[in-house]
Structure 1
Amino acid sequence: MIGNTEILASLLGTSRQTLSTLMNRMIKDKILKRVNRQYLILLDIPYLEALMVGVSAS
């Protein structure tokens, strides 16, 4: 059975391991908060907006 992280990673064009590493870093940096194994809360929308601008400018 494929898990949600694997599906999301596939949609984003990355590996499950890379997505998991990045999500854990964002949790540590208080950008995301893990509610439980299925849900995350986005705590810092401006950070992700700035990240998105940086990616689109590349």
Structure 2
Amino acid sequence: MIEKNRDCIEQARKKLNALAKEYNNDFQHPVVIKQSMLLDELINQYSRSGKQQEKPIIFD
């Protein structure tokens, strides 16, 4: 699952770079912003999933 998330992040990053080039490095273009937001969300999901796995199990 984590490896799949990394692959999705990498694909989204490559697409962001391609879109930025396509729109002459206009990072304010709506299409570029939308892809950037998607990449941000994928990174946040990946980060949250890692934190959940690192939490110690506490027994009462």
What TM-score bracket applies, with the shorter chain setting the length? Answer: 0.3 to 0.5
Q: Judging by fraction of residues, say which structure has more helix.
A: 2
Answer 1 or 2: higher relative contact order, Cα 8 Å, separation at least 6: 2
Larger radius of gyration: 2
Compute the TM-score of the two structures, normalised by the length of structure 1.
0.34
Compute the TM-score of the two structures, normalised by the length of structure 2.
0.34
Q: Judging by fraction of residues, say which structure has more strand.
A: 1
